[in-house]
Each structure stands twice: as C-alpha cells, then as structure tokens.
Structure 1
C-alpha cells in the first residue's frame, strides 16, 4: 500500500525523496537512516568557539539541505531542525538562547524568508517538547553592513568579509547563548557573530549547525572531531 501511495504521489504532484529522488512524500527510510544525526565538534577558523554539527555537507545531507533552502521542502526543514536540536543537546547548555545568524537582504529576497530563524524556531520547539529544555530564540544580532556572498570565497576572504559585520544588543541577562546556522564551513561567520555578542556582554557557549563542509580549497575529506576529544 505504501509503495502504491508513493508512486501515485510522484505521478500526480512530482513528490520525491530529496535525498535519493525516489518517489515519496518526504525523506525515505533509507535516506533517513543515512541522515541520523551524529553530533561532532567541527574545527573552525580562529579559536575559542566550540561549534558542533550533526554531519557532513555532502551526499544525501547536501541534497536534503539544498532541497530545503531552494524549495522550502518541509520534511527537509524538519530534519535540519532535528539535527540542530541534537547538537544543542550535545553542547550540554541549559536554558539556551538560540541566536540565528542574521541573513542579508539579498538572501531574504531570494528565499522569501529568514531560513536560519525558521530553523532556530523549529529546533527550539523540539528542545522544549522532547528534551524538556527551556530553549528560546532571541534576535540579538543584526548586520551592520551587507556582506558578500560567501560561496567561492577562501578562508582569508571569508574572514575579511564577515569581520566587524555584526552588532549585538547589550546583554540584559545571564542566560547562555548558542549561535545557530544551517551549514558551517570555515566558521568565519559564527566567529564574527560570537565576537559581537561577547563585546555586548553575552555569554556565548558555542555554535551549532545542521551540517559541516570542508573549507574552500581543502580537497581532503571533511575533518570532524568527536566532541569528547581535545
């Protein structure tokens, strides 16, 4: 019965699994198994900021994220939120304020929404419902200037592009802050956001992302270090 429904959905509305393109209404079981979050600490540019991602930005994970960001595919968005929530739990932060990385005007126009804010809100809801965690979303950071598109930029260029690009509201409490993004590459954006928050007096505990990708120009396999390792 299930296979008939999947085939019918594909014929009628073109529904496919974003991971493997098999007919279906969401992420198929095989791809879901491959996408099972495995939170790991990701080496990022600079020092002092712990960033955790749930997997690597390649293969099934990359296709699912692209489908979410490009077409607003709801099952893919739900998976990304689950991945981010798992990373917040891995950080071990109690009562976190989830701070989404600000989007440029260009990005909001292109996608019609602030995707990372949607991601943070969905993850916060999951944390409250399933982890009984007092998590909430706070818009503490704004863009001081519009940055260039990070795609195609190398490590040094990304750092220059984001340095000083953000400003944060002055701290009004002691709750720990966790920065949220969809995909982390060099970590330059998260570092710049973390600096702005720290200058404003916030207690930044780390950053989380659904997936991590190797830095531009690094042709080796993505290096992902276990969170319990040094």
Structure 2
C-alpha cells in the first residue's frame, strides 16, 4: 500500500496544478483573475486578532490552563469569500495567498513562546482535523495545505475524529462546547511535546478547546493556537467570557 504522505502530497500537487490551468475568477470579488486580485490581497494584511481560550485557575482550579490565540484577519467580507472558495469550492489556487497571513499568525504565536521553548523547531504544529464527511468531499485538508505552504514541508495530522458531532454552524457557544467534547483524540502519545494548534477560523473556540483537551490527554502541552481568521465574536473588544 502506498505511503499516505506521498499520496497526500501527490493529490495536493494535482489539485494545485488543475486550479492554475483552468480559467478562474478572483475568489474574493469575482473579477476575472487568478486566485485573488491585487485589491483583494490587500484585505489579507489586516491587524492581528488576539484572544484567549479556557477558564482561569481562579474561576476553575481543576481546569487545564488557558491559552492564547492569534488570528491574522477578521473572518468577513473578502476574506470570508476567499476562504469559503478554498474550502467548499475546491479553489486550491487560493492556498498560496491565504498561507501568507496564516503564516504571519503562526510566526507571532511561535514568537510569543520562544522564551519558554528556545527553538521554534521544538514546537510541533497540530492541525485541527476536519470532519470526516468534509474530508471525503474535499479530498484535501485545508488547514494542512496552508501549513504545508507556510512550512515548506508535509505537516502530519496529530489528532483524529473519534466521535460524531452535529454541525457547529447553528449552535450557541455553550452548545458548541458540549457538541465538541470527546470528538477528538491524539493519534499517538505526545508526552513532552509542545504543541501549537492551528486552524482556519476561530469562532466560539469550542473546537480548539477540544483539540487542546485531546493533546493534554495524550501527554502534550498546548502553548497556544494560530488561525488564518477569527469571527468578529473573537475580537478582543467583543470577546465573550471564556
């Protein structure tokens, strides 16, 4: 049976090549262009959005420590259009442009912890896994594709889906937390491993919290999380209580 890493890389390369060869319109605004037009690319250079997930030890002494999140841009307007095209319409040609702000957020998140983990190579990127149905329908993992563009190499999955969960889109914050609980599991022990969680969009934070739980249950430590975008709900000035 072929190496899954080679199969994934071959599939991603084929999708990238197909997207470039076929005539397309800008994924952000729809004008004739390839991937994103210059004007839409400027929207990917917004101010970083910082947040914090998890309860403080004063409020819940038995809870795991909270962690910081860094997102590159707000999930709205052009950014939302481009990301949906990338995830739902097979527009893998947008990955190169989206990987730039994604990489910026990841670099900042890594820099925040270089004093504790001196070498960035000592921090492992942990993609939040997509849903099983989404994975089958797409044939590629958007988060891992962005990570590959950012790092220049294959980023293996550390977590897997183990339980069914309703779609999060129509659920409130508390419902999302309950819905996500117990749905992720580490693929192997992570004892002594420092992990930076990575995702495409931070909304309520429920999925990131579940990913953090799965990493810690496997013996790893979560230093933080980075994402391409965050919904307005996650803006610091409008952040709900953790």
Q: Which ranges of 4 or more aligned residues in structure 1 deviate by more than 3 Å? A: 43-47
Residue in structure 1 matched with residue 76 of structure 2 by the alignment: 58
Equivalent position to 2:190, from 154, 171, 185: 171
Segments of 5+ residues of structure 2 without an aligned counterpart are 1-21, 57-65, 114-119, 238-242
Offset of 1:14 from its aligned partner?
A: 5.2
Q: Which moved more, 1:72-81 or 1:178-187?
A: 72-81
Residue in structure 2 matched with residue 24 of structure 1 by the alignment: 33
Residue in structure 2 matched with residue 5 of structure 1 by the alignment: none
CA RMSD of aligned residues (A): 2.3
Q: Deviations over 1:8-63 (max 9, x none)?
A: xxxxx652111121211221111111221532213546450211100111011101
Question: For 1:207-222, what aligned pairs fall within 5 Å after superposition?
Answer: 207-215=225-233
Segments of 5+ residues of structure 1 without an aligned counterpart are 1-12, 129-135, 216-221, 226-230
Change (3 A) 1:223 1:170: same
TM-score (norm 2): 0.74
Matched residues, number: 198
Question: For 1:155-170, what aligned pairs fall within 5 Å after superposition?
Answer: 155-168=173-186, 169-170=188-189
Question: For 1:79-228, what aligned pairs fall within 5 Å after superposition?
Answer: 79-91=97-109, 92=111, 93=113, 94-95=120-121, 96-125=123-152, 137-168=155-186, 169-172=188-191, 174-215=192-233, 223-224=235-236
Change (3 A) 1:76 1:224: farther
Residue in structure 1 matched with residue 95 of structure 2 by the alignment: 77
Q: Deviations over 1:168-209 (max 9, x none)?
A: 22125x442111111110111001110111122112111111
Equivalent position to 2:86, from 52, 58, 68: 68
TM-score (norm 1): 0.77
Is contact 2:49–2:71 with CA below 8 Å preserved after alignment? yes
Is contact 1:39–1:53 with CA below 8 Å preserved after alignment? yes
Is contact 1:99–1:120 with CA below 8 Å preserved after alignment? no
Cα distance in 2, alignment partners of residues 224 and 60 from structure 1: 21
Offset of 1:81 from its aligned partner?
A: 1.8
Q: Deviations over 1:104-162 (max 9, x none)?
A: 2111122222222222222222xx8xxxxxxx734221222122111111101100011
Cα distance in 1, alignment partners of residues 46 and 124 from structure 2: 21
